[in-house]
Amino acid sequence: MTKKCAIACDHGGYHLKEAIKSRFADIEWLDLGTDSDSSVDYPQYGQKLAAAIENGEAERGIVICGTGIGISIAANRNKAVRAALCTDVTMARLTRQHNDANVLALGARIVGEQVAFDIVETFLNTEFEGGRHARRVEQLG
């Protein structure tokens, strides 16, 4: 189980971010904002979270925007990040097992709250399988 996790969102993801923090209260959250549903620009939050992963402030992270797409693109520009946009538990399990994804991206306007909770739980609790997958992850650069 991951103990410390960074989390960031834009205004579209604000309510889901707060709900995830309450639901997983045993995790030490490094909350990088945003802190309200006032409009902000998702690239800044994706980049902030990516920097926290790069600097070793957290091993895993979660980014949330309306679709999960913009903020995952922003986070993935940083080479330290392998962000995976997941809409179900199977994607969350496989991206941990096969891609060693260190950042989960969620679309607050795409998945319901309970589905998001299940995805987070799976993302935080599934280990990388290594082996042939390690070679492929290495090739991502």
Buried b (16+ CB within 10 A) or exposed e, 43-54: bbbbbbbbbbbe
- Please report whether residue 10 would count as binding ligand RB5 according to CB under 6 A: yes
Known active-site residue 9: no
22 phi, psi to nearest 5 deg: -70, -40
Task: Please identify, using beta-carbon distances, which residue of 38 and 139 lies nearer to ligand RB5.
Answer: 38
Task: Please identify, using beta-carbon distances, which residue of 27 and 49 lies nearer to ligand RB5.
Answer: 49
Q: Which stretch binds ligand RB5 (CB under 6 A): 44-52, 65-73, 120-128, 133-141?
A: 65-73
Task: Please identify, using beta-carbon distances, which residue of 61 and 70 lies nearer to ligand RB5.
Answer: 70
Rounded Cα distance, 39 and 72, in Å: 18
118 phi, psi to nearest 5 deg: -65, -40
> Which residues between 25 and 44 bind ligand RB5 (CB under 6 A)?
42
**Residues with catalytic roles:** 65, 98
